[in-house]
Structure formats: C-alpha cells, structure tokens
C-alpha cells in the first residue's frame, strides 16, 4: 500500500503550460480498459460464431468514447493530478461516475452479454434480473437517489482523505464509482421493460428531483470557506497550481455544472419514455373500445345532436 509521500513522489511535474498534456500510467485504469475491451470483444466473437449481427455503431461507441473516456479520467490530467489538485480529483470523480458509464452503456454491453451467453446462463440471468431486488436497483428512481448520495459520501466523508493517503483505497473508489455509475446508466440506456404511464411519469418527477439534489454537493464546495483535507492539500498542492481554496471552489463548480448538464439527457430520455407509454396506453384503450363496439354491433346509438328532430328542422 502506497502512502501519501509515495504518491506525491509519483505525481508528475509538468512543463509550464503543458499541465493538460500530462499522462501517468494507472494500473487499475489499464486493467479496467483491458478487461472491458476483452469482455466486449469476446461477446462480439461469440455473436459472429453464432451468425448473429451486432450494430457497428454500438461497438464504436463502446470502444471509442467509452474506453477513451476511461483512459482520460484515470491516466490523463484528472488521474495524473488527483492527488495534488482538488479540482482534478473532482473531475475524475465526476467522469468515472457520470460520464464514462453513460458512454459505455451506449454500447449496450448488457444486451451483448445476454445475446452472446449460453442458453443456461441466459435462463439464470433472467431469473436473477427478475428478482424484486434487481428490479428495484434497475428502477430509474434508484439511480436518481443514488447520484447525490454517492457524490456526497465520497467527497465529504473520511473516504476522501483516506483515498488521498492510501493507493488501495483510491483505486477502490475508482472501481466503485465506475460500477455504481453503470448501475445508474445501464437501466436508462438499455431498452426498458414496458412501463406504465404512471411509472414513467413518476420516474420523470424523480429525474427533476435529482436535478435539484445534484446541485447540493457542488454548491456546498463552491461556497465553502475552508479546505477539505486541509493538512494534505496544503502540503501536496503544487507551486504552479491555483490557490488551494480557489482550486477547491473550482472543483465544486465543476461538480455542480457537470452534474446538472449530465442530468439533462436523462430527463429528456425519461420524458420521451413517458410520452411513448402514454401514447401506447391510449392506443390500447382505443383498441379495447373498438373491440367492444364491434361485439355490441349496432347497440351503440348516435349522439343526440345528430338525431334530435328539433335540430333537423
């Protein structure tokens, strides 16, 4: 386990004006990228052997923006300076929790896994996903409440300071953020089960509630007047960086702004689902009424204003 001193020694010292171009290898980042690429590639290979097609666009989204963003947030500027700049750590947290999972989910990895899995595994997976706990986790309401809770716990609890001083905890936070982010993003991006209009409307309401709650952690950091992990950052802060308190407020503004922007596509998606569910239910009601009318034959009478003799004079 690396201590804070070992981490600081490993932090790169950039040439003036080239801080954004700094790269630093991250073992967990490399392992995650390799594992994700291998698993997705294996799924594509099984699909090809089975003679089934898979859209190229999904593969491009997964291997391009998805894995590339994972590389950027773990090994480019955010990951390279996460232990010396508060704002860099916040960018990494936001990226691994809110950005990379969405981009990876656009490649439909869960659908690929189900399509490529053997029949026995498909049956077992179907039973698992049909469990009430799994259905609850896949509900958009769960994700809406999870996002502000996770960001608050990571930033304001002892986890933040411990992750700065111990590499094992830091890498554990990386994996946890990515996993929880996928838990939120995959049910929203993957094709959902046919939900009722009421359920879709409830999910939309919770989406707007999340939009408000997501602003709380970022706003607190933006207007905070004292440092988090002050003893660490006052020592670790680089001479070329901004003042520590200004850097913390910059990180808060990033968390605030990105959190709100990332929520907008989800709200738009939930709105579209609500409209589709409402239209589907309207069509089903019309079909039921048409069937009832066909069964009753001529039992239904014309409106009174079409048959009233006084209106026909």
What's the average pLDDT block by block, 10 residues per block, for the chain (313 residues)? 47 58 87 95 90 91 94 92 91 92 91 82 67 66 77 90 92 94 82 65 76 82 87 82 89 86 77 80 80 61 60 55
Extract the tokens encoding 239.
Answer: 């001479």
- Give the pLDDT confidence score for residue 6 in this predicted structure: 46
What is the predicted pLDDT for the residue at 131?
A: 62
pLDDT score recorded for residue 116 = 81
CA distances from 222 to 56, 97, 231, 237 (A): 42, 20, 19, 18
3-state secondary structure of 308: coil
Name the DSSP letter for residue 12: -
What pLDDT is attached to residue 9? Answer: 43
Nearest to 85 by CA among 221, 208, 251: 251
User: How many Å apart are CA 193 and CA 147, to the nearest integer?
Assistant: 22
How high is the pLDDT of residue 249? Answer: 92
26 neighbors 64 (Cβ within 8 angstroms): no
Residue 201, both tokens: 């409307």
């Amino acid at each position: 386990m690396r201590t804070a001193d070992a981490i600081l020694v490993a932090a790169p010292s950039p040439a003036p004006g080239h801080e954004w171009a700094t790269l630093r290898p991250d073992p967990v980042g490399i392992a995650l990228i390799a594992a994700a690429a291998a698993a997705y590639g294996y799924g594509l290979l099984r699909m090809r052997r089975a003679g089934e097609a898979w859209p190229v666009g999904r593969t491009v989204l997964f291997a391009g923006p998805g894995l590339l963003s994972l590389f950027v947030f773990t090994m480019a500027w955010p990951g390279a300076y996460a232990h010396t700049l508060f704002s860099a750590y916040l960018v990494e947290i936001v990226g691994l929790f809110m950005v990379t999972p969405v981009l990876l989910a656009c490649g439909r990895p869960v659908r690929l896994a189900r399509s490529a899995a053997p029949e026995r595994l498909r049956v077992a997976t179907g039973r698992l996903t049909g469990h009430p706990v799994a259905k609850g986790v896949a509900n958009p309401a769960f994700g809406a409440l999870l996002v502000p809770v996770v960001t608050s716990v990571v930033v304001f609890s002892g986890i933040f300071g411990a992750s700065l001083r111990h590499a094992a905890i830091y890498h554990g936070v990386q994996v946890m953020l990515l996993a929880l982010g996928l838990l939120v993003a995959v049910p929203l991006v993957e094709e959902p089960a046919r939900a009722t209009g009421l359920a879709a409307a409830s999910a939309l309401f919770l989406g707007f509630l999340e939009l408000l709650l997501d602003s709380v952690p970022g706003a607190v950091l933006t207007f905070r007047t004292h440092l988090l992990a002050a003893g660490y950052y006052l020592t670790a802060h680089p001479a070329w960086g901004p003042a520590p308190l200004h850097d913390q407020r910059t990180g808060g503004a990033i968390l605030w702004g990105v959190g709100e922007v990332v929520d907008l596509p989800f709200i738009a998606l939930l709105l579209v689902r609500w409209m589709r569910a409402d239209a589907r239910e309207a069509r089903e009601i019309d079909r039921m009424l048409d069937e009832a009318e066909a069964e009753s034959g001529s039992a239904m009478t014309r409106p009174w204003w079409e048959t009233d003799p006084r209106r026909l004079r």
